[in-house]
Structure 1
Amino acid sequence: MKKLTKLGVVGNPVAHSYSPAIHELFAKQFGDNISYEKIEIPMGEFESAIGDLIDEEYFGINVTIPFKVDAYRCSTKCSSQARQSRAVNTLTFQGGKILGENTDGSGFIRDLEERLKFTVKGTSILILGAGGGVRGILPALMDRQPKSVTVANRSTARASELCDEFGIQSILYDETGSENYDLIINATPTSLQNKAPLVSPFAFDSCTLAYDLVYAAAPTPFMELAKRGGAKEASDGLGMLVEQAADSYEIWMGHRPQTASVYEALRKMLTASAA
């Protein structure tokens, strides 16, 4: 039997995570011998908890909300994507070093291009929100050479700082209906609260794709608003979840899983959980 590789996901909360199911399905594709645990870390204890996991011979860890910036800070070496994002969602413990990577952007782009057949180059993009989720996807988006990227956020100061860093435009929510966008991304937590963001319905008039980074069993409030506003297609973030996980798995195990069947299995799990 292959040597056991100890993996896991850390966050607070983390009980809801589908990451163990995803990685177990990946491992079955290759006959890999892995364990994958959900680990809730108390607030303020991230660094000491990572030390404990290293002592327990974990090889890799996925990092979710709210610890992605903490993971960046505790990494001894980071990829260019992680440095640009200033956030890490994948840690590898190797040779006494903590290697930090951010696969959110690559997972997001792969879901756009392969599952949804959306090409970013030359498009106008509106992003709702200016938090860590945006930082994770912006470098990968900018690499695809969009025509324009605009960020709308409740806090102008937070949006301005982010936009100055990436050389893009920031606006207020009440300005979102004055321009046309090909892609609108909801990076706010409103869908988790069963609410739609304060974007104007007119923003979706020429929208090819509305994408919610949150995933759910049913269409999110953002997706419903987008369809009412005229968006041609609306998607949640389940595909991104699976794709970024596959990129993490490849970093750890050296081979990238096939994702289409895993996406379908996860969609069925979500649907069943809501029944």
Structure 2
Amino acid sequence: MTKPDRYAVLGNPIQHSFSPEIHQSFAAELGENISYEKIEVPIGQFAEKAEELLDEGYKGCNITLPFKLDAYKFADKLTERARSCGAVNTLVFGNKILGDNTDGIGFVTDITSRFGFNITNASILVLGAGGGVRGLLPSLLEQNPKWIAVANRTLERAQTLADVFGVDAIPYEATAAEHFDLVINATSTSLSNIVPPVPESVFAEVSLAYDLVYGAEPTPFMELAKKGGAKKVADGLGMLIEQAAESYADWRGTRPDTSKTYDLIRRLIRERAAK
């Protein structure tokens, strides 16, 4: 029997990851023979582990926190979207190591295909100014929104992003005075079961409020947005699956359909939460 092509996701921590189930679902759909594992890498040892996988014949890997900058440095060459956001979440092993970042295109694909949201000419508010926002902004800007505002508790961090990407930086308290079509929560507040410090009124005319965090139940941000009048609310599971599909296409040359995988992973999340 032919040995499977080997892939992995590297992170720390990593046990929570659904990446193996996602990629095995893609492979089953396409009738391809792969193996996929999750590997917890000690902090400071990313390059050594990546070299080890390369030597063992792995075809590529996904990268999650906190190693996306390490992967950026490890790659021999970069896609334009990886270069634009300064981070890598996908490595393709070959004669040269290609680094890509599929987070932004995964987000754009999810909101445009699953929710029918039109980014062109939209007013967008992004909450938070961490590394995840860097992954989103280039792909959002490619869609020609009307404007993007980044709000952060520390305005200087938001201004740093604004200067790099040509968007606006605003303090949280200024968000209520503006109109937004899309609000993205890229803070870690939902992981702590709290809401970001924006008023409920921010969501009065919002078409879609999207939390990058996902779980078995609606996040506090989603509850706040719904209470404030947002027409649609969503968590980040769709982005997770769509960015994985882009990674799979990087490795295999074919982009899988994601609908069945989305239903599968949503069910697995609920089953894990119920244990």
TM range (shorter): over 0.9
Query: Shift of the alpha carbon at 1:64?
Result: 0.5
Amino acid at match of 2:252: M
Structure 1 residues without counterparts, runs of 5 or longer: none
CA deviation profile, 1:33-87 (whole Å, cap 9, x unmatched) = 1110101111111111111111121111000111111111111100000000001
Which segment is superposed worse, 55-64 or 10-19? 55-64
Provide the aligned C-alpha RMSD in A.
Answer: 1.0
- Which 4+ runs in 1 deviate beyond 4 A? none
Pairwise mapping of residues 46-61 of structure 1 onto structure 2 (< 5 A)?
46-61=46-61
Q: 2:193 aligns to what?
A: 194
**2: CA distance between counterparts of 1:13 and 1:80?**
28
Give the match's secondary structure for 1:94.
coil
What is the identity percentage for the equivalent residue pairs of Structure 1 and Structure 2?
A: 54
Amino acid at match of 1:212: D
Pairwise mapping of residues 1-275 of structure 1 onto structure 2 (< 5 A)?
1-95=1-95, 97-275=96-274
Give the match's secondary structure for 1:263.
helix
**1: CA distance between counterparts of 2:101 and 2:207?**
27
**1: CA distance between counterparts of 2:27 and 2:198?**
41
Normalised by the size of structure 1, how large is the TM-score?
0.97
**2: CA distance between counterparts of 1:225 and 1:250?**
36
**1: CA distance between counterparts of 2:181 and 2:253?**
36
Contact 1:152/1:159 (<8 A) preserved: yes
Equivalences, count: 274
Structure 2 residues without counterparts, runs of 5 or longer: none
Query: Shift of the alpha carbon at 1:269?
Result: 1.0
Give the match's secondary structure for 1:242.
helix
**2: CA distance between counterparts of 1:11 and 1:53?**
14
**1: CA distance between counterparts of 2:221 and 2:147?**
22
**2: CA distance between counterparts of 1:232 and 1:22?**
29
**2: CA distance between counterparts of 1:67 and 1:176?**
32
Give the match's secondary structure for 2:27.
helix
